[in-house]
Amino acid sequence: MGFPTGECFPISMPKAVAESSGWDEVVVIKNKAQIWTVQAIDVIRKRLPFEILGINSDNGSEFINAHLLKYCESHKIDFTRSRKYKKNDNSHVEQKNWSVVRRNVGYLRYDSQEELKLLNKLYGYLRLYNNHFQASMKLIEKVRNSSKVIKRYDNPTTPYERVLNSKDVSQEKKEALRTTHEKLDLYDLKRKIVKCANKLLKTHEEKKTERRRLDSVKSQM
């Protein structure tokens, strides 16, 4: 089985943060074995600048298993799942599979150990780039006036700034986040993302070339 190029699923958090932060975390796992899913969620939990209150996954076996249930119980995390055959239950989260995942790595099949390392390295840069430097607007009001719908949005704000403005995040977490932000260089970060993405594509092409060579050798035996 190839490595998933990233799976986005809802994580619940303090209400004010959940409504406004837009914080993204993506981790690549080796396959759908329960152990890798639990390890990936543990990595995400430790990275987040706030506590996880709940996880609402889809119905895949990588999520619906005793290991993840035990993990959630031990960390006091509510664990729920989407309804069967209701793809839109997590529509706002699923759209991240395009804007965060496919937009950066496409639809190629990555299934080697080297590609796994490169994907997680790339996502490590992307999480910093998206959360600290990519601003977005949030809908704050929607009013219907006859046949027209008038929408009002807040000012463009990064997830990093929204977390700092939240009353539900501890000062200790905010200070740690500020320390990380001050060390970041936007242009250097963007260069690393491009370099890593290009190396990933090169590695993928080299893998395909080598596999074609091996298939050719086998066919001649």
Looking at the chain, the whole-number percentage of residues with pLDDT higher than 90 is 38
Q: Give pLDDT, residue 16.
A: 41
- Give the strand order in the sheet containing 11-12: 11-12, 54-57, 78-81
Instruction: Give the whole-angstrom CA distance, residue 109 versus residue 63.
Output: 22
Least confident window among 4-8, 162-166, 177-181, 205-209 = 4-8
More confident residue, 215 or 133: 133
Distance from C-alpha of 40 to C-alpha of 18, rounded to nearest angstrom: 20
pLDDT of residue 19: 47
* 172 pLDDT above the threshold of 90: yes
- Number of Cα atoms under 13 Å in the Cβ half of residue 63: 16
Q: Is the pLDDT of residue 13 over 60?
A: no
What is the per-residue pLDDT for 33? 85
Q: Could you tell me the domains of the chain?
A: 11-220 (3.30.420.10)
Lookup result for tokens 């000062």? 171
- Determine the 3-state secondary structure of 5 from DSSP: coil
Find out whether 3 and 139 touch, Cβ atoms under 8 Å: no
pLDDT at 6: 47
